[in-house]
Amino acid sequence: MGAASDDAVKQLALLMDQVEAPLRRTFQNVHQGYPKETLLRFLKAREWNVSKAHKMLVDSLNWRIQNEIDTVLERPIVPVDLYRSIRDSQLVGLSGYTKEGLPVFAVGVGQSTYDKASVHYYVQSHIQINEYRDRVILPMLTEKFGRPVTTCVKVLDMTGLKLSALSQMKMLTSISTVDDLNYPEKTETYYVVNVPYIFSACWKVVKPLLQERTKKKVKVLHGCGRDELLKIMDYSSLPHFCRREGSGSSKHSSTDADDCYSLDHPFHKELYGHIEELASCKELIKMGSLHVSIPEPDPDDAKIVEVIQAEFQKIGEQNGSANGHKV
């Protein structure tokens, strides 16, 4: 870090020392003993503008308080069959770790249907995974390696991406807005695999709109990306859809123990067990979904969503239909 970066961190730290006690308490849950790294993330997200980074961080802390995010891991999604249906339709999981010790999260972008529960449950589940990553997994890795481990990598599987995904745009925008404004710079690299034409077409028009630091994070790989991913992780950490070239991705193509999306995978078993254990310590388990307020997206992000929607519609018109056929 240069002198200017150091100075920005010091300025932001001084501003955070002046916030009210409730904000300081929730900030501790965010930084997990590493405030400098957290301040750096928010500064990067606002291009090193201290004032904007301070506003972003304070807004995020207020969002956490207003939506009871600090206790979200004490609220299991019950019954377990409902949670299983969420896992079957919101495909995400921890497949392993990179050689440098970063968690590898797999996301089935193309095959997630988000059609088994209300939007509130999907947002709640997404936030629970974020919080479990930040408050359990990353601190465990930090202790293991003796250095701060505060980020992850994500492998985005585009298998099955269709024009009908346009109907899920509101859901995806809600989740990405929560991440952008409250969990900024948590992902080192996005590896995109199994890319169909529809993604390539959208990427071509969206890429010029992205900030340079974001563009550098996105790596579109050939096929399932196995050979490239093996440079940064062992075979055992590859997501199940990257293990055989040409096999494509299917949530039904491997055993439940290998399928990191499945509730029967060790990661989801541990996550759900952790939430149940925390809940059992409380006298009253809050039932029902957590209704989290979704912040307004940044204008630049909103513009990107509009561009994606327009591109989807254009492709649909070129194909004579937007009824969900693969393209």
- If you write DSSP's letter for every residue of 73-109 in order, what string do you get? GG---SSHHHHHHHHHHS-EEEEEEBTTS-EEEEEET
Q: Which residue has the higher pLDDT, 24 or 243?
A: 24
Pair (85, 61) in one structural domain: no
What is residue 293's predicted lDDT score, i.e. its pLDDT? Answer: 86
Pair (187, 108) in one structural domain: yes
What is the count of structural domains for the chain? Answer: 2
Under 8 Å between Cβ of 186 and 41:
yes
Domain housing 25:
6-66
- Does residue 266 lie in a domain region? yes
Pair (40, 122) in one structural domain: no
What is residue 304's predicted lDDT score, i.e. its pLDDT? Answer: 84
Cα–Cα distance measured from residue 221 to residue 95, given in angstroms and rounded to the nearest whole number: 18
**Residue 112 tokens, joined:** 């997630």
Q: What is the pLDDT of residues 125-135, one digit of tens each?
A: 999 999 999 99
pTM of structure = 0.90
Pair (86, 138) in one structural domain: yes
Pair (55, 87) in one structural domain: no
Q: What is the phi-psi region of residue 300: left when phi exceeds 0, alpha when psi lies from -120 to 50, beta otherwise?
A: alpha
pLDDT exceeds 90 at position 162? no
Q: In the beta sheet, which residues pair with residue 157? A: 108, 193
Q: What is the pLDDT of residues 224-261, one digit of tens each?
A: 999 999 999 999 999 999 987 554 444 444 555 689 99
The CA dihedral of 166, 253, 119, 177, to the nearest 10 degrees, is -70
- Does residue 284 lie in a domain region? no
pLDDT exceeds 80 at position 325? no
Pair (142, 26) in one structural domain: no
Which amino acid is located at 302 in the chain?
A
The phi, psi pair for 258, rounded to 5°, reads: -85, -30
What is residue 71's predicted lDDT score, i.e. its pLDDT? Answer: 94
Q: Give the list of residues 6+ apart from residue 208 with CB closer than 8 angstroms, or none.
A: none
- The answer to whether the bond into 79 is cis (omega within 30° of 0) is yes
Pair (107, 230) in one structural domain: yes
Q: Which domain CATH number covers 232?
A: 3.40.525.10
Q: Which domain CATH number covers 42?
A: 1.10.8
* Cβ burial, residue 171 (10 Å; 0-12/13-18/19+): middle
Structure-token match 């969503």, residue found? 305
